[in-house]
Amino acid sequence: MAKILVIADIKEGVLKGSTAELLSKAKALSAQTAVVAIGSNIESLIADMAAAGSDTQYIADDKSLELFSAGPYAACVVAAAQQFEADMIWFGFSEAGKAAAPRVAAQLNAACATEIIDVTLEGEQIQVIRPAIAGKVIQRIQVNTQTLVAVVRAGAFEATPGITGTQNMVKLSIPAPDLKAVIKQILSDASGEIDLADADIVVSVGRGARDQAGIDLVRELARDLSAGFGSSRAMVDGGFMAHNKQVGQTGKIVAPTLYMAIGISGAIQHLAGMTGSKTILAVNKDPEAPIFNVADYGIVGDLFEVIPILRQEIKKIRG
Amino acid sequence: MKILTTVKRVVDVELNIHIENGAIVEDGLQYVINAWDENGVEAAVQLKENNNAQTTLVSIGEQDNTDMIRKCYAMGIEDAILIDDPALVAPDAFAYAGILQKVYEKGDYDLVITGKQAQDTDSGQTGIILAEYLQLPCVSNVISIEVMDEAHIRVSRLGDSGTEIVEITLPAVVTVSDSINEPRLPAMRGIMMAKKKKIQVMDLAALGTSVEAVGGAAPKSEVAEFMKSKTRQAGQKFEGDAAQITAQVVELLANEAKVF
Ligand SMILES: Cc1cc2nc3c(=O)[nH]c(=O)nc-3n(C[C@H](O)[C@H](O)[C@H](O)COP(=O)(O)OP(=O)(O)OC[C@H]3O[C@@H](n4cnc5c(N)ncnc54)[C@H](O)[C@@H]3O)c2cc1C
Ligand SMILES: Nc1ncnc2c1ncn2[C@@H]1O[C@H](COP(=O)(O)O)[C@@H](O)[C@H]1O
């Protein structure tokens, strides 16, 4: 029986949905499951971690682990992987995961694959599926080592309803802080808005909105829908939107039920971040904009005219 | 400060990519400098201009890489090493990192700058693995670099909950995001000078290693097959009176797509 260790995705004291998604996939592969949780004041989440589908919980809970630092974070994962004798170590899609996974793989002499969307296990042979070249191709990767470290792309797996696990906490020793890369401060971009990764609907704004007034107009639509509010790189570069709002190849990868691209042309790097969405709506005044090639519904029009009508019509229908 | 910046030549993602029998069709492909490495080159050149850094570039590839290297020379890079060895067939990130480790050890570098990911692999591993091999501190997804003193830099990186400010003791490895800068267009004078500059070409033996020693003969993972990505079908596009078509689309979102 394969053993799969999932890195618990904890943000602001809450266990994120991706943990259950990864554990559900692990169980579907008939694997034994464990999680490793790293942070400060997280022991209280043990019950949630078990409920998400883990049978063992490796915990590194210490004040020194409050701010993410890749070295100590990777050290905790390696310790858990060795104690559990994991065949696979899965990170959910996050900057922390992307920074730590290659370190963990190097230390365990394991293979490493990022942005995976599927994984198969036949006997000892592990294979993964992942997009590459800005999403233009899909690769089937053959793993030649016994152990694989992977970063799972957002939206790849679904949580199985009714999944459960058992509580079995194992405390890890706390690694020394990395004195050569000292994290001094986090300038939070938290704007009180919904996290893009969690949002069921994402509304994204592009250069078509021109300026702050245009952005505010589109933000109102996002507010009406309690949607995540994202952006193309153009508006981040323009200084209008925070970095963590960027959707795309170098930004967030999102896969919501509904993605609304407002005044976004649909450059390949943007598409790489959102074509996993279930339904896509595009509003663009250029009928030839490439975004229409991926949109289920396209409104050709001036967003300054369309957005107020869109808000009104949505209000009518949702009551 | 001596900087080593890594640069990969990759397929141009803006062009169509065709797949036949599980492999990418070479015909019609064009190659460019990896976008994030161009940001890395720009970052290195800015450190040269503002902090008197010395800049060396390394690329692992084939002789075809020389055009790309000349472009980096024109941007302001001072020295370039090209690692070209026919024994390197399909290296994974570990093999690339193993080779870069040898290059690093031959110089006396204070800072390695890599791209956050290569556009062909989209994997984001090589720089981080290199740091592990070298036992150096590493910060990834960096959007600014500031020199504090000879032995320290302060960088900011995009993390999960915001911009993280990290102070690093040199030598170190950073991987850079495209948000770090806007790569310059080389000036004519630079382009002319770049033509005359030498590129140091080495194979693995000249580097004091071999394809086996860097793990290139037995990669930890390999691409077994390339497949077409599932392209979405263009759906329904509405043109005409804004009020009318918008109402129509909202109705479809609710009753056909059932998203509200
Ligand atoms: C290495 C690299 C990584 C990148 N990563 C990302 C990434 O992660 N995410 C990302 O988004 N981009 C990324 N980019 C940038 C990308 O290539 C595009 O430049 C960017 O996505 C363009 O943003 P945009 O669509 O908002 O702007 P534009 O391309 O300028 O498009 C604006 C659109 O708005 C429309 N428009 C204008 N006025 C109106 C109006 N009044 N009403 C309606 N529509 C209107 C126009 O027709 C046009 O289609 C990356 C690029 C590189 C090289
Ligand atoms: N063949 C190569 N030559 C030089 N640098 C490379 C090579 N492959 C990868 N790199 C560097 O490693 C970074 C990350 O690559 P990857 O891990 O493939 O996403 C790239 O942006 C480059 O800076």
**Domain residue limits, chain A:** 3-171, 201-318
Q: Cβ separation of B242 and A257 shorter than 8 Å?
A: no
Contacts A237 to B, Cβ<8 Å: 179
ipTM for the predicted complex comes to 0.95
To the nearest whole angstrom, how far is the Cα of B182 from the nearest Cα of chain A?
Answer: 10
Contacts B227 to A, Cβ<8 Å: 137-140
Q: Does A244 score more than 90 pLDDT?
A: no
Domain count, chain B: 1
Distance (angstroms) between ligand 1 centre and the Cα of A235 equals 8
Question: Which residues are registered as beta bridge partners of A140?
Answer: A129, B225
Question: Which of A183, A186, A184, A169 lies closest to A71, judged by CA?
Answer: A183
Within 10 Å of residue B60's Cβ, how many Cβ atoms? 23
To the nearest whole angstrom, how far is the Cα of A137 from the nearest Cα of chain B?
Answer: 5
Q: Find, in chain B, the residue whose alpha carbon is nearest to that of A115.
A: B123
Q: Does A175 score more than 90 pLDDT?
A: yes
Confidence (pLDDT) at A191: 66
B23 domain-assigned: yes
Could you give the percent of chain B with pLDDT greater than 90? 94
- Topology agreement, domain A3-171 and domain A201-318: yes
Distance (angstroms) between ligand 2 centre and the Cα of B219 equals 16
Distance in angstroms (rounded) separating the CA atoms of residues A114 and B118: 12
Q: Which parts of A195-274 fold into alpha helices (H)?
A: 212-224, 233-237, 268-271
B218 domain-assigned: no
B238 domain-assigned: no
Q: Does A81 score more than 80 pLDDT?
A: yes
pLDDT digit string, tens, across residues B149-206: 999 999 999 998 889 999 999 999 999 999 999 999 999 999 999 999 999 999 999 9
* Choice from B60, B99, B126 to test ligand 2 binding pocket (greatest atom count within 8 A of CB): B126
Q: Mean pLDDT over all residues of chain B? A: 96
Kindly report the CATH number assigned to the domain that includes residue B142.
3.40.50.620
Does the domain at A201-318 match CATH 3.40.630.10? Answer given as: no
Mean pLDDT for A151-159 is: 94
Q: Cβ separation of B250 and A67 shorter than 8 Å?
A: no
Residue range of the domain that includes B58 = 2-202
User: B133-149 burial, b for 16+ CB within 10 Å, e for fewer?
Assistant: bbebbbbbbbbbbebee
Distance in angstroms (rounded) separating the CA atoms of residues A215 and A304: 10
Confidence (pLDDT) at B86: 95
B13 domain-assigned: yes
Q: Mean pLDDT over all residues of chain A? A: 96
Which top CATH class is A3-171? Answer: alpha beta
The first and second tokens of residue B95, run together, are 């093999």
Distance in angstroms (rounded) separating the CA atoms of residues A23 and A256: 20
pLDDT digit string, tens, across residues B111-147: 999 999 999 999 999 999 999 999 999 999 999 999 9
The ligand minimizing its distance to the Cα of A115 is: 2
pTM: 0.96
Pocket of ligand 2 (CB under 6 A): B 6-8, 34, 36-37, 58-61, 93, 96, 114-115, 117-118, 121, 123-127
